[in-house]
Chains A and B, each alone.
Chain A
Amino acid sequence: MSASTIKAPPIGARRKPGELGDKIFQWMCVGAGGFVLILLGAIIVTLFLGGLPAFERFGAEFIWGTIWDPVEGQEEFGAGVAILGTITSSVLAIIFAVPVAFGIAFFLTELSPPWLKRPIGTAIELLAAVPSIIYGMWGLFVVVPFVQMHIQFAFGEQLAAIPLVGFLFQSTNFAGTSLFSAAIVLAIMILPFIAATMRDVFDQVPPVYKESAYGLGATRWEVMTGVVIPYTRISVVGGIMLGLGRALGETMAVTFVIGNANRIATSLFDSTTTIASVIAMEFPESLTGSLQQSALFAIGFLLFVISFLVLALSRYLLRPRLK
């Protein structure tokens, strides 16, 4: 067996079967690639067709309308609150997660003793393996009471007294399930994606670059900000976008902790809702063919559009540096 593979095949007779194999393999690869496109297209079309009655009924106002009233006879649907909640909770999660992820990656690549790298790296990757429903339960039983007792009750009034930004902390909602709790849970869920990406790309910086900087007398921090980050910027942003994408579509964990109220959150401690949690909550009880179900399809379609825009935007921002 091994002898025959090492020997070069005789020209002529053996060539054809090899070509056939190549052809089959090529078409299988094309098929696999095309399958993703077709599948994605089919999902978008299904969601759009399902949502069409809602779009027709409410027009463009569906996108920014803030009323979500499924009561029969007075149905009115607007995705505004859910869209805003989806974006604010995801952006907050990114704001919470990126510094921590950067710290983890910095520690693992520059500071950590070699024996500690492995366990911490594995622990970070294990965070990504925890099912989102577990994060939801943990959020509900641990994060929510903590936010409620030790952040909102403890600091809420002092924070609300800060001029200009005080309104961000001023809330009459004391149940603990809030935008803030949701952002914390989301941040922990997307942390492993961002941290693992950052660690991997930091590790790929050629040692000679860093050594030259050290040779010039740079500190670790200067090496990080002056050499490593500029060298890896594109991949770092890519990792953050991956995290953002995950945060936008996260369903169960957010549903548990965000409070599911169709009101715009003016404060971090207010409850609000996201597109994914509205769908998770209302889809099972919506009647087939009803306007409510159509509206749910429609916001599902909008979530798709938002995710697409986010990815497209990140591509666009990166383009000048891609060369």
Chain B
Amino acid sequence: MNRRSLLALGASTLAIPAIIRPSFAQQATITGAGATFPRPLYDRWSAAAREGAGISLNYQSIGSGGGINQIAARTVDFGATDAPLTEAQMAERNLFQFPTVMGSVVLTVNLPGVQNHALRLTPEIITEIFFGRLNRWNDPRIVELNRELRIPNIPVSVGYRADGSGTTWAWTNYLSRISEEWRAGPGFGTSVRWPAGNGARGNEGVSNIVRNTPGAIGYVENAYAVVNRLITTQIRNKAGNFVRPVNESFVAAAAAADWTVPTMAPDTIDLSGPNVWPITVGTYIMLPTNPVADRVEGSRNTMRFFDWAFRNGSQAASALEYIPLTTATHDLIRSRWAQAIKDPQGRPIWTGAAG
């Protein structure tokens, strides 16, 4: 093959995508980065939306903090976070946030002979354990609550997330809600000053501590506990009932939350209601309120993507152990899009019909 025919071949291969492209005019690509927790769901939605809505999503799960950093720097079309921004933080970075689904955090234990959903724990006991002051499992306070179980006499080992994470944010938020002392001490955040225990990396790291150590207790995302068949506990909620970490309890929490607050990030921790699981959290998407001209399309497509996902993706969410929001909440999010996100000319980017 001489040089001329090589060139011709090269030119023709270059030309092929150019010819094909017009037939894919609908196919848009959006980029997002952030929280690791919703990644499996966004991946599932992305695969389906490529067919269903003609939008392909490139999502990098770099962590919630990374998501906030990236969208604040406007290097992606949207950021994702598990720890929602406050109104001031949103205003400072010109961001608008909305929830996509909820997740729940559960306690898992390694107690030989204790079955899934069997162990009952009260907020007081949980606080004492995480402060490192309750050192043995056969403590009278635990035995008293669990008369029908045989609790082994082994030391308590606390496992927590050492990497900054939304799971820690939710869990420490719960701890500061149930304990005045915790709120004044370690407080809540994506990583805190743990008074006791061992840190591990990721949900899988905490599960590993719990699986390997008899007497260990740790908090993980429920999806993780279900998939890995970890032994989870009951927790006494605000109403005074012991609730099991099952779907009805989580859905009850989603229904009890008030999504109409300005940040769209209501308090979902320790809500009132007879069957409410106390530790549920939303996971959020952040969009710029003032996208620059060449980012407008990305913002519009992001909203189209989630609009499509709200209408078609709830089943996939449930299948992956996430808690879908109610239809009323979805409608509220759409109306907020129209109010909050404007193009450089000041017109709303979301017009509702584009899907």
Is A68 on the interface with B (CB-CB < 8 A)? yes
Range of interface residues on chain B?
35 or more
Give B188's nearest chain A residue, CB to CB.
A71
Assess whether B157 is in contact with A175, with CB atoms less than 8 Å apart.
Answer: yes
Assess whether A281 is in contact with B69, with CB atoms less than 8 Å apart.
Answer: no
Given the complex, which residues of B lie within 8 Å of A86, measured CB to CB? none
Assess whether A284 is in contact with B66, with CB atoms less than 8 Å apart.
Answer: yes
Main secondary structure, interface of B, reads loop
Is B201 on the interface with A (CB-CB < 8 A)? yes
Main secondary structure, interface of A, reads loop
Segment 63-83 of A: residues with Cβ below 8 Å from B: 67-74
Nearest chain A CB to B192 CB, angstrom units: 5
Assess whether B212 is in contact with A176, with CB atoms less than 8 Å apart.
Answer: yes
Is A56 on the interface with B (CB-CB < 8 A)? no
Assess whether A175 is in contact with B164, with CB atoms less than 8 Å apart.
Answer: no
Assess whether B165 is in contact with A285, with CB atoms less than 8 Å apart.
Answer: yes
The proximity string for B residues 163-187 relative to A, scoring 1 for CB distances below 8 Å and 0 otherwise, is 1110000000000000000000011
The proximity string for B residues 188-216 relative to A, scoring 1 for CB distances below 8 Å and 0 otherwise, is 11111110011111000100110011011
The proximity string for B residues 229-269 relative to A, scoring 1 for CB distances below 8 Å and 0 otherwise, is 00000000000000000000000000000000000000000
Is B298 on the interface with A (CB-CB < 8 A)? no
Assess whether A140 is in contact with B191, with CB atoms less than 8 Å apart.
Answer: no
Given the complex, which residues of B lie within 8 Å of A271, measured CB to CB? 197-199
Assess whether B194 is in contact with A261, with CB atoms less than 8 Å apart.
Answer: yes
Is A267 on the interface with B (CB-CB < 8 A)? no
Assess whether A71 is in contact with B193, with CB atoms less than 8 Å apart.
Answer: yes
Is B72 on the interface with A (CB-CB < 8 A)? yes
Is B63 on the interface with A (CB-CB < 8 A)? yes
Is B320 on the interface with A (CB-CB < 8 A)? no
Assess whether B68 is in contact with A287, with CB atoms less than 8 Å apart.
Answer: yes
Assess whether A69 is in contact with B192, with CB atoms less than 8 Å apart.
Answer: yes
Segment with Cβ contacts to B, from A26-34, A231-239, A252-260:
A252-260
- The number of chain A residues with a CB under 8 A from chain B is 35
Give A271's nearest chain B residue, CB to CB.
B198
Segment 121-171 of B: residues with Cβ below 8 Å from A: 132, 135, 155, 157, 159, 162-165
Assess whether A177 is in contact with B200, with CB atoms less than 8 Å apart.
Answer: yes
Assess whether B192 is in contact with A71, with CB atoms less than 8 Å apart.
Answer: yes
Is B53 on the interface with A (CB-CB < 8 A)? no
When chains A and B are docked, how far (Å) is the Cα of A140 from the Cα of B207? 12
When chains A and B are docked, how far (Å) is the Cα of A288 from the Cα of B62? 14
Assess whether A284 is in contact with B200, with CB atoms less than 8 Å apart.
Answer: no
Is A286 on the interface with B (CB-CB < 8 A)? yes
Is B302 on the interface with A (CB-CB < 8 A)? no
Given the complex, which residues of B lie within 8 Å of A273, measured CB to CB? 162, 199
Is B282 on the interface with A (CB-CB < 8 A)? no
Is A211 on the interface with B (CB-CB < 8 A)? no
Given the complex, which residues of B lie within 8 Å of A260, measured CB to CB? 162, 198-201
Assess whether B186 is in contact with A284, with CB atoms less than 8 Å apart.
Answer: no
Known: A68-B193, A284-B65, A287-B69. Is A176-B162 also a contact (CB below 8 A)? no
Is B97 on the interface with A (CB-CB < 8 A)? no
Known: A69-B193, A284-B65. Is A259-B187 also a contact (CB below 8 A)? no
Interface residues, chain A, with chain B CB atoms under 8 Å away: 67-74, 140-141, 144-145, 148, 172-177, 255-256, 259-262, 271, 273, 277, 281-282, 284-288
Interface residues, chain B, with chain A CB atoms under 8 Å away: 62-66, 68-69, 72-73, 132, 135, 155, 157, 159, 162-165, 186-194, 197-201, 205, 208-209, 212-213, 215-216
4 nearest CB pairs, A to B: A285-B164, A260-B199, A260-B162, A285-B65
In the assembled complex, 11 residue pairs joining A and B whose CB atoms fall closer than 8 Å, in A order, are: A68-B193, A72-B189, A144-B212, A148-B213, A177-B200, A260-B162, A261-B194, A273-B199, A284-B63, A284-B163, A286-B164
Additional 20 contacts, C-beta under 8 A, given A69-B192, A175-B209, A288-B72:
A70-B190, A70-B193, A74-B187, A140-B208, A148-B213, A172-B155, A175-B159, A255-B162, A259-B199, A261-B198, A271-B198, A273-B162, A282-B163, A282-B164, A282-B191, A285-B64, A285-B191, A286-B164, A287-B68, A288-B69
